[in-house]
Amino acid sequence: MYYVKKRIEISAAHRLELNYESRCAELHGHNWIVDVYCRSAQLNENGMVIDFTEIKRLVKSRLDHKVLNDVLPFNPTAENLAHWICELVPKCYRVVVQEANGNIAEYVADETQSVE
């Protein structure tokens, strides 16, 4: 099995839709750090699991310097963002999203998923 990890920094704003009072319900921004983990049993014709540039393009083009509420169809919590990125990137099985120092969410895809 081959594994790769791509770290991406994204500057983006969001406001959380919460059923309790919180300052996070107001528009605010983060310099997010996103770690995207991909794996494959076989390398592609270029000798890669996936090109690092492709991972960066897929994620940054949709999220960087955006208001996440305007571009995503869900409440943009770090947890939801990690899940969405994992579904977006081919061969991705794990995503770690850090929205602030000490605030980290992780999503790991079902281990029974087939691996190419």
* Tens of pLDDT, residues 56-83: 999 999 999 999 999 999 999 999 999 9
pLDDT for residue 116: 53
3-state secondary structure of 105: strand
Domains of the chain: 2-108 (3.30.479.10)
Confidence of residue 95 (pLDDT cuts 50, 70, 90): very high
Inter-axis angle of helices 52-63 and 78-88, to 10 degrees? 130
Query: Residue 60: which H helix or E strand, with range?
Result: helix 52-63
pLDDT tens digits for range 11-48: 999 999 999 999 999 999 999 999 999 999 999 999 99
DSSP 8-state class, residue 54: H
pLDDT at 115 over 80: no
pLDDT for residue 112: 58
3-state secondary structure of 41: coil
